[in-house]
Amino acid sequence: MKNISLDKKTILITGGTGSFGKKFIRTVLERYKIKKIIVFSRDELKQSEMYNDLAKHKEKIRFFIGDVRDLQRIKLALREVDIVVHAAALKQVPSAEYNPFEVIKTNVIGTQNVIDAIIDSDVERAIALSTDKAAAPINIYGASKLAADKLFISTNNYSKKKFSVVRYGNVMMSRGSVIPLFLEQSKTGVINITDERMTRFSITIDEGVNFVINCLTTMWGGELFVPKISSYKIVDVARAISADCKIKIIGLRPGEKIHEEMITVSDSVNTLEFKDYYVIMPSTIEFMSWKLPDFIKNSGKSPAKLCTENFSYNSLNNKDFLKVNELRELIKRQQ
């Protein structure tokens, strides 16, 4: 299956005014000769600010106020669109635990609305952003994203359009990252940590955007892509921000894990390893229009291999851990 270029394509991104969306849009506008990019989101203020920031690209960018909960609005926005990046979601874990059905409305029902609208459109392919919290979820955010992932992948069973998912860890300096919070707390001389054992996956916004673009241009439809990325210890993040601050342990928040996971042991039986990433294959692959041996041979620059039995990929057993000095330099570059 041939790779595609984003040149001359019209792209719509849901949740386009978020941390990922802003960087993705700027990168695509500067790197490709796209036909048009449509920003679909609820916040008119953020859209206005983005319009001002990207004024030199105003001929190629359009803003569409809408909510993924509104199927008819999505259908209208998808007219003459070639590619969809689905990034809209409710993501704050404590808030989600307190408002669970609101999370379901956006992350699950909203995702199904996006799927239904794509099926009734001229869109060729779509990719959804997931989270490490969707693997063996213990909170409603993770559970809702796992459901959304399953909805997206399963659409390949009955549609000729291509649907895939990208799953990765915490984006450094994003709104959901702990780093901006620690930077603010460091001014008081005390940084609050929920559990000193805690580890997390880490990816920069540039790495996340580049990975999504690569997956978008190479996907066959049905893959759940997982990048090979670094982990860090939360206490090391605090030390990187300030070696002099006191660390106060305050206990786990509702729905919070000590370690995050991106590929479970159960997933590993359907997981392929490439040089820089993994692909979790759908359990319903027999219903899809392409065959696994062809994918293993032709989907990457080097052939894939099946993961070993009982393999798992989590932030504790990861082979690549960032040291305090590496974290300090990364944080400085991202500010």
Per residue in 234-266, pLDDT tens?
999 999 999 899 999 999 988 889 999 999 999
Asked if residue 214 lies in contact with residue 155, where contact means CB atoms within 8 angstroms, the answer is no
> Vertex 259, ends 257 and 265: CA angle to 5°?
105
Report the alpha-carbon distance of residue 135 to residue 131 in Å, rounded.
8
Indicate whether 295 pLDDT > 90. Answer: no
Return the H-helix or E-strand segment holding 125: strand 125-129
Indicate whether 334 pLDDT > 80. Answer: no
Q: Is residue 335 part of a domain?
A: no
Coil, helix or strand for 166?
A: strand
Alpha-carbon dihedral of residues 40, 95, 262, 88, nearest 10 degrees? Answer: 0
Q: Which residues are catalytic?
A: 133
Asked if residue 29 lies in contact with residue 61, where contact means CB atoms within 8 angstroms, the answer is yes
Residue 214, domain CATH = 3.40.50.720
Q: Is residue 58 part of a domain?
A: yes
Q: Is residue 180 part of a domain?
A: no
Give me the domain span that covers residue 221: 10-170+204-229+264-309
Indicate whether 64 pLDDT > 80. Answer: yes
Please write the tens of the pLDDT for every residue from 165-214: 999 988 887 766 788 899 999 999 999 999 999 999 989 999 999 999 99
Where does the pLDDT of residue 289 fall: very low under 50, low under 70, confident under 90, or very high at 90 and above? low
Q: Is residue 246 part of a domain?
A: no
Report the alpha-carbon distance of residue 79 to residue 116 in Å, rounded.
14
Q: What is the mean pLDDT of residues 264-284?
A: 91
Q: Is residue 324 part of a domain?
A: no
Where does the pLDDT of residue 292 fall: very low under 50, low under 70, confident under 90, or very high at 90 and above? confident
Q: What pTM does this model have?
A: 0.94
Indicate whether 60 pLDDT > 70. Answer: yes
Indicate whether 53 pLDDT > 80. Answer: yes
Q: Is residue 178 part of a domain?
A: no
Tokens found for residue 108 = 């699950």
Where does the pLDDT of residue 332 fall: very low under 50, low under 70, confident under 90, or very high at 90 and above? confident
Where does the pLDDT of residue 1 fall: very low under 50, low under 70, confident under 90, or very high at 90 and above? low
Report the alpha-carbon distance of residue 19 to residue 25 in Å, rounded.
10
Indicate whether 229 pLDDT > 80. Answer: yes
Number of domains in the chain: 1
**What was the pLDDT predicted at 67?**
98
Q: Is residue 198 part of a domain?
A: no
Q: Is residue 34 part of a domain?
A: yes
The pairing of strands 61-65 and 36-41 is parallel
Please write the tens of the pLDDT for every residue from 126-164: 999 999 999 999 999 999 999 999 999 999 999 999 999
**What was the pLDDT predicted at 212?**
98
> Residue for token digits 């995702």?
111
**What was the pLDDT predicted at 285?**
64
Report the alpha-carbon distance of residue 260 to residue 135 in Å, rounded.
8
Please write the tens of the pLDDT for every residue from 68-114: 999 999 999 999 999 999 999 999 998 999 999 999 999 999 999 99
What length is written for the chain?
335
Report the alpha-carbon distance of residue 131 to residue 90 in Å, rounded.
12
Tokens found for residue 190 = 């005390």
**What was the pLDDT predicted at 2?**
66
The DSSP code for 26 is H
**What was the pLDDT predicted at 198?**
95
Where does the pLDDT of residue 286 fall: very low under 50, low under 70, confident under 90, or very high at 90 and above? low
Report the alpha-carbon distance of residue 218 to residue 221 in Å, rounded.
9
